[in-house]
Amino acid sequence: MARAQFRVWRGDSQSGHFDEYQTEVAEGMVVLDAILQIQAEQANDLALRWNCKAGKCGSCSAEINGHPRLMCMTRMRDLPLDQPIQVEPLKAFPPVKDLVTDVSWNFRAKKTVKKFKPRPPDAQDGTWRMTQDEVDRVQEFRKCIECFLCQDVCHVLREHQLQEQFVGPRLMVYTAALEMHPLDVEDRAKDLKEAHGVGYCNITKCCTKVCPEEITITDNAIIPLKERVVDEYYDPLRRLWQKLKGE
């Protein structure tokens, strides 16, 4: 059985450092297995989040050798074992302890997005009719597991800390899912432009690259939302019409 070296960030909200561990690597192991093994055998109080261990809940996000990944979906054999594997918490969020960060801002920001508002039912019995194509169009966005890796790599949040101005890629995907929902009739353009700051995204596509669900965040969610805002606010004909109507 091979052994692997780990450098795991240990610390709290004030300070921290890397601790080194060695552990056995069995066939098929993922980074989460190794970290849990270290926790059980060598560092009982090592803090991390995890739940499903199958890439479905988005809890075990971390930066592995500098790359934002889900620990449960990162195979050990895809990492070079001749050097220590470095595991750190997400850097865009305030540290809590070890690999755990304070991601509560994402939950608060989500509440500011106007909720789903369906059109009146299509049938007498209070139900709606939709085609599979209509449903498929938004399924991509609804696959999101809220791992917040996209938030972690977004320059606006990570480097510039503009959480107050821009809600980040995850909530752009969330807004896109609502805006393109076949039944939704709410208008979120004003919020997108102002409170949620869609203009801050400068399309570097870093979020798309790290998404474990392979959601094409920038092209399929953010750019169409930018276009929606442009149509609403910057279309000259529309603006003339609004002026004439006294809006």
Partner 1 sequence: MGQYQVHEHDVLVIGAGGAGLRAAIEASAGGVSVGLVCKSLLGKAHTVMAEGGIAAALANVDDRDSWKVHFADTMRGGQYVNNWRMAELHAQEAPACVRELESWGALFDRTHDGRILQRNFGGHQYPRLAHVGDRTGLEMIRTLQDHGIHLGIEVHMECAVVALLKSGDRVVGALCYDRERGRFRVFRAKAVVLATGGIGRAYKITSNSWEYTGDGHSLAYRAGAELIDMEFVQFHPTGMVWPPSVRGILVTEGVRGEGGVLRNKEGRRFMFDSIPDLYKNQTSTDDEEGWRYTQGDKNARRPPELLTRDHVARCIVREIKEGRGTEHQGVYLDISWIKERLPHAEEHIKRKLPSMYHQFKQLADIDITRQPMEVGPTTHYMMGGIRVDADSQMSTVPGLFAAGECGAGLHGANRLGGNSLSDLLVFGKRAGVHAAQYAKEHGAAAVDESQIDEEMRLALAPFERGAQGENPYQIEHELQDRMQELVGIVRQEGEMQRALEIIHQLEARRQRVGVTGNREFNPGWHTALDLRNMLAVSEAVTRAALERQESRGAHFREDYPNKDPEAGKFNVAVRQGADGRMQIERRPLEPMRPDLAQIIEEMK
CB of 111 to partner 1, least distance (A): 5
Helix boundaries (H) for the chain: 31-41, 104-111, 132-142, 149-153, 155-158, 168-179, 189-193, 206-210, 223-234, 236-245
Of the residues 5, 18, 67, 97, which one makes contact with partner 1 according to CB under 8 A? 97
Which one, 27 or 82, has the nearer CB to partner 1?
27
Q: Which residues pair with 20 in a beta bridge?
A: 7
Of the residues 182, 216, 223, 230, which one makes contact with partner 1 according to CB under 8 A? 182
Q: Does 209 bind partner 1 (CB under 8 A)?
A: no
- CA–CA distance, 197 with 189 (Å, rounded to integer): 10
Residues 7-26 that bind partner 1 (CB under 8 A): 12, 26
Note whether 113 and 53 are within 8 A (CB).
no
- CA–CA distance, 161 with 154 (Å, rounded to integer): 10
Of the residues 107, 236, 244, 246, which one makes contact with partner 1 according to CB under 8 A? 107
Dihedrals phi, psi of 97, to nearest 5 degrees: -160, 135
What residues make contact with partner 1 under the rule CB under 8 A? 12, 26-30, 33, 39-41, 44-59, 73, 75, 96-98, 100, 102-104, 107, 110-111, 115-116, 118, 121, 126-132, 135, 138-139, 142-143, 145-146, 178, 181-184
